Chains A and B, each alone.
Chain A
Amino acid sequence: MNSKLLNLGTWPSRLLLLGMGLSGLTLFAQAPSDEPAPAPQQQADKDKKPAPAAKKTDAGRQPDMGVAVDSGRKSDVLSTWITSENNPGETVGPWVIRQSAEFGGRFSDYTGNTGTWDTFVNLGTGPRLLEYTLDMHSPTHTGKFFDDLNFSNFGYGGDPNNVSRIRMQKGKIYSLSGGFRRDQNIFDYDLFANPLNPPTSVPNVPILNSPHEFLVTRRMSDVNLNLFPVSKVRFKMGWSRVVNEGTSFSSDHQGTDTLILQPTLNTTDNYNFGVSLRVLPRTNFNYDQFYTFYKGDTTGTLAPPSVMNTFGVPSFTLSNGAPVNLGLVFNSAANSPCAAPIFTGAFVTPTCNGFLSYDRNGRNRNDFPTEQFSFQSNYFERVDFSGRLNYSDAEASTPSTNELFNGQKSNNFRGLALTGGALSHRISVAGDFATTVRLTEKLKLVDSFRYDAFRIPGLWNLATANFFAANMLTTPNLFSPATCPPPFTAATCPQHAANSAADVIVDLRNDYLGQKRKANTLMLEYDATKRITAHVGYRFERKEITQRVDAVQIQTFFPGPTAARANRGACAPAAAHPLNPDGTCTTLVAVADVGSDFVQINGHTGLIGFNARLRDNLRISADAEFFTADNVFFRVTPRHSQDYKVRANYRPKDWVTLSSAVRIQETRNTTADIGGLGHNRSFAFSGAFAPAEAKWALDLSYDYNDIFSETNICFTASTNLSPPGTISCTASGPTFLSGLSTYSDVSHFASGTLYLKPWKRVTAGGGYAVTSSSGNTVILNPIAPTGPLAVNYHLPTASVAIDLTKNLVYKAGWNYYDYNEKSLAGPTLPRDFRGNVFMVSVRYSM
């Protein structure tokens, strides 16, 4: 067991204890107790004839259908008699106040992989405020500042998800809503971005955690105010904020790939203000302004040895005692982190690729001013329409990017210092117009047009100074005519290798990405009866994508340890690149990816659909889309696709609901080079059984999902490791091999939840959900496991709620999490885990 937060003893004893506790309380609950005293309003109701809706109120006593396996997170989904909604509440001034609070504790205990547990579940032990609700309502609508106020929250005290919401309103004056959500987001699925170091490597260093692990908390807040919500002129304003804060890890490539520790902080504020006008009958105009401001303050630094140790990488030093970071990739057969010998005695060979230090920062400040005009009207009897025009000009500025690398990589590269800035814009225009024309009583023509265009011009101007020395024990020499005079052979000159990169690179780059999209959907809708309708339509869309790169580099080469060394790289040969008077060489270099692409895609989609409420208790709908395009921009985007959806819902009895949904998506791009083929087929069924007078309810569901795709790929792999049957896919030689990238994910999902109300005061529930996948994919590296594609994930749950008194409910819950990958773990830790989460709480309502 990696972590044992609470020792609950052995399994049988845990269950016995839980059972005893629940049984005792259940017996207590069976004992006669005083009926709740009727509230004054209820007393008055007794004298009156029951209204037709009274039966529905009784039906509300049935257990609610819920989402299986939810109880581990929120308090739980069991509804009991005692809720703030059903309670009479207390009258204070003009308000009737209802409240409920649920306090309790959560006890969790798991074995297996801590990282995966935290990624999937992350429920710990401790006291919790599981839920709190406050409802204030003024029946006479005479509250001074508000007539209604609702507040609710859950998850406080240590759960990863906390949510609070508030809503208030005062008649026709205002409505206000606000919310706060916190998500402690942990990710450590160890296969992700893992170099999968082979066990045969010397040294053998398995990487135990995902190099892209993160522990980030996202906080989301929002406030929205509507003024005069039923008047002809209404105002709305709002603010929201998203903050991501915490620690994340990344990797950096400098000869070898090492772990970067990233203190993460980015903040986004959104402001909006709008006005709605109803100056014409049945017509509305809205004008809104939005402003979004993003601040990105994430930085990166070399992960210290202690952190590297937790990832499974031991500490290394140079012969001078300085710690050196050899990165995460240890594959001696592939010369990673460097060709043998990696070690000289107990120390790292100083010419090996490694990091002595690394830092980078570059604060982003992005702002998105946006304005929007929208309208809607059904002024005309047979025509209604709506539209929107939206314009935004975002600017993203990174005025000062800095990067410092101190280490060693090939060709005597000993470090770099990069500085510069970037500026980009996103100018977007989006226009929508949709109209419905009622041709006859039964026939409608619906047209929807969208124009959506954006362009993102971006530029950067970066200057990089590179430093060179023979190894990590040597300090690189800076070039200066004073310390490196002709003939440039002094020991104080930069120590370039023959293939060393330029000493100074000024990188000027202008990039452009733009897209224009026009789409028009024309639909004919026919209402055969009030219960049966059908539609047929056609959508045309044209996408034009432009991508352009204009870039140039000014490269300067310093001499040393010989004069001729300045004529290396882009400054070679010497005959074409005369040296400057100080012995340096400067040249203009065209960047390889300069150029432009323009792609036009014309897409055609046929739409057809049918739906019927054949009887009050039977509903069927079906629709299909058939898409074809003459081109693609993204290689795996399908040129042809079909999408079929069928849904049916049948209630043979008031207490039985049977539903089914079938969705089949078929995609293909049969261009010879691509050979893309795929499908996503889902067949889902559910049954909900909740007899009105019975003391039970049952919720069952099953889904079969079959995802498949295949695409031709062309890749490089060691010949002896490549999949059988691969052949060269280029005339340039056997380096590239062709293959078929296949991916399949066949999943079965089944869930069942039984709710019981054996006694008036007791509600119990038990459920089970399981996802079982048996997928597969092409594996280019034999030591890579199938991993998440073949798994069983079991999520049983049980809970009980007992109404102890008229305001007090005792609750207990249990969730079990069992994650099992069916394949071998691979050269890292297994990711399986099993865990129990128990919850005990008391809910008080008034």
Chain B
Amino acid sequence: MAKVKLNTSFWVAVVVLMFGACRIAEATSAPFTSPASSSGKQGKEAKSGNEHPADPSQYVGTETCITCHEEQGKSFDRGPHWKTNLNKRQGPEYQGCESCHGPGKAHAEAGDTDKIVRFGGLSREESSKRCLTCHEFGEEHSNFLRSQHLKNNVGCVDCHSVHSPKVNRQLLKATQPTLCYSCHLEVKPDFSRPFHHRVNEGLIACSNCHNQHGGFLSHQLRATAAQDQVCFTCHTDKAGPFAWEHAPIKTEGCVACHTPHGSNNPRLLKRSNVNLLCLECHTLTVDAPAPAAPSFHNQAQKYQACTMCHTAIHGSNSDRVFFKP
């Protein structure tokens, strides 16, 4: 493979150009003002997203909204958000339609769509912040504003629809994994490979392993309660701890040997021949602590399948060469 070496100055130039392009785009793009951010206090609210003016006189209540927005009122009532109406302790800014769309008095009086917060006019961060006003609390959503999704301009409204969800549960726009595949195109084929996790079959979902709302781990992965790899949630017998650990499993993770989504290779292994997978580490070398395969392991004979003898490869409580569990 041809290697292309890019020096530091190239990358500095890339960064400068990128930010320069942003500045140009900023200067030349049409003003993208949300109705609520056009002026005054509401504009600030929309920018910060999660602020709600507390003046009760600006709020009209859900009953007023649904006199015009009947369909939206029905869907609101059908979904989980209706229970915000029960949240009497925090005032009208946390109740009903106006908990998301802001105070509606001006809009109700004038019928002017610019007088109410409409999600279509907000940036993804702004609209997401409005959702997070309530949903941020709890570990599931607490890192959404730092998530890979939002960093790539994917906000709450890209996956959820409060008023016309396809899936009532979680108000999703589509079921998993279809929803995830709509962006993660390169992942979809993995689940049609001969060996794959049963995602298309509906047994498990992308969100069983990944926290789509972000998190502290890379790839937005979840973890076990004890902060071990998410794989051990189902593959519990591999979690250990073992008296004698196969170290890479704990230090590098299951992905050191397996491709988790799908593979042509049995057991989702990274190699079709198990012996090559083993030999790539267990080889005479000065660079790594893994012991080399001994001289009597003739690869042309029965030793081509290392796991025929080293069956307890994920860890053992009775054998230091993993011959038995």
Contacts and interface: CB of A to CB of B under 8 A. Distances in A.
B324 interface: yes
B9 interface: no
Interface of B: 1, 3, 11, 14-15, 18-19, 22-23, 25-26, 29, 32, 34, 47-48, 50, 69-72, 75, 77-78, 80, 82-84, 86-87, 89, 122-126, 136-139, 142-143, 145-146, 151-153, 163-164, 166, 168-169, 174, 177-178, 181-186, 188-189, 192-195, 198, 200-204, 216-217, 224-228, 233-234, 236-237, 239-245, 247-248, 250-252, 256, 264-267, 270-276, 279-281, 283-302, 304-305, 307-309, 311, 317-318, 320, 323-325
B138 A286 contact: yes
A661 B186 contact: yes
A424 B317 contact: yes
A250 interface: yes
Interface residues of A, number: 228
A87 B153 CA distance: 36
B240 A73 contact: no
A785 to B, nearest CB: 9
Nearest to A152: B169
A319 B184 CA distance: 64
Contact of A634 (B25, B145, B281): B281
A196 interface: yes
A749 B193 CA distance: 9
Contacts of A368: 224-226
A699 to B, nearest CB: 9
Interface stretch (A380-388, A490-498, A802-810): A380-388
Q: Closest 6 interchain pairs by CB?
A: A528-B22, A51-B71, A749-B189, A458-B243, A684-B185, A290-B225
A195 B295 contact: no
Contacts of B164: 53, 56-57, 60
A394 B15 contact: no
B83 A52 contact: no
B245 to A, nearest CB: 5
Nearest to A517: B251
Contacts of A187: 266-267
A633 B185 contact: no
A718 B301 contact: yes
Contacts of B292: 714
A579 B288 CA distance: 42
B291 A635 contact: no
A621 B276 contact: no
A257 B138 contact: no
B299 A529 contact: no
9 contacts: A163-B203, A193-B274, A292-B226, A423-B243, A612-B153, A634-B256, A661-B186, A718-B300, A781-B300
A778 B244 CA distance: 31
Contacts of B224: 292, 368
Contact of B308 (A253, A633, A711, A793): A253
A535 B151 contact: yes
Given A422-B318, A743-B276, A388 B216 contact: yes
A751 B272 CA distance: 25
A200 interface: no
Interface stretch (A14-22, A25-33, A344-352, A671-679): A671-679
Given A292-B226, A364-B317, A714-B283, A53 B271 contact: no
Nearest to A281: B90
A250 B83 contact: no
A422 B243 contact: yes
A714 B240 contact: no
A334 B302 contact: yes
A250 B125 CA distance: 52
A529 B123 CA distance: 9
B185 A183 contact: no
Given A284-B137, A441-B47, A634 B252 contact: yes
Which of B239, B241, B248 has the most chain A CB atoms closer than 10 A to its own CB?
Answer: B241
A705 B256 contact: no
B324 A403 contact: yes
A212 interface: yes
A66 B323 contact: no
